[in-house]
Amino acid sequence: MRGPIDYVQAIAAFTIDSATDLKPRLNRMKSNQSMDTATQILRIVDEVLSLNGRSAGFTRNTLLLGAIPELDSMAVVSLLTAFEDRLGLLIDDDDIDGATFASIGSLTDFVTARLMPSPAQ
C-alpha cells in the first residue's frame, strides 16, 4: 500500500512530465495560429465574395481591390461584418482605408493585428 507521500510524488512527476510534453504542443499551436488565421480569412473572402473556391490559389501578393470584380463597396462591408462576427473583431470605420483591401497580405495583416491582444491587456 502506498502512503500519501508516494501519491504526491507520483502526481508531481506526472505534472512535470505533462508540462514538458505540453510545451512543444503549445509552441506548435502558436506557430500555426497565423496560418490558421490566414486560412480563415481566405475562407471568409471566398464565401462572402462567392468565389467558389478560387481563393485556394490566392497568395499574400494576390491583389484584391480593383483586381477582383466581386469586391465592390458592398462586399467590403460584408467582409468586415463577417470578420467581426466570425473572428470576434471590433473594427472601427476609421481603421479602414483602401490599402487594407489592396491584397490578401494587407487584409491578413490588418485582421491579424486586430486579433492580437493589445499591450495593455
All domains in the chain, ordered by first residue: 33-115 (1.10.1200.10)
Question: How many C-beta neighbours within 10 Å does residue 121 have?
Answer: 5
Locus of grid cell 488565421: 37
For residue 70, the model assigns a pLDDT of 96
CA distance 56 to 43: 8
For residue 116, the model assigns a pLDDT of 76
For residue 22, the model assigns a pLDDT of 56
Q: List per-residue pLDDT tens for the chain, 121 residues long.
A: 555 555 555 555 555 555 555 555 544 444 445 558 899 999 999 999 999 999 999 999 999 999 999 999 999 999 999 999 999 999 998 999 989 999 999 999 999 999 876 566 5
Positive or negative: CA dihedral 72, 74, 78, 81 = positive
For residue 36, the model assigns a pLDDT of 87
For residue 108, the model assigns a pLDDT of 95
CA distance 44 to 30: 21
Q: Is residue 108 a contact partner of residue 83, using CB atoms and an 8 Å limit?
A: no
For residue 24, the model assigns a pLDDT of 56
Locus of grid cell 483591401: 101
CA distance 40 to 37: 5
pTM of the model: 0.68
Could you tell me which of 69, 70, 73, 67 has the C-alpha nearest to residue 96? 73
CA distance 6 to 109: 52
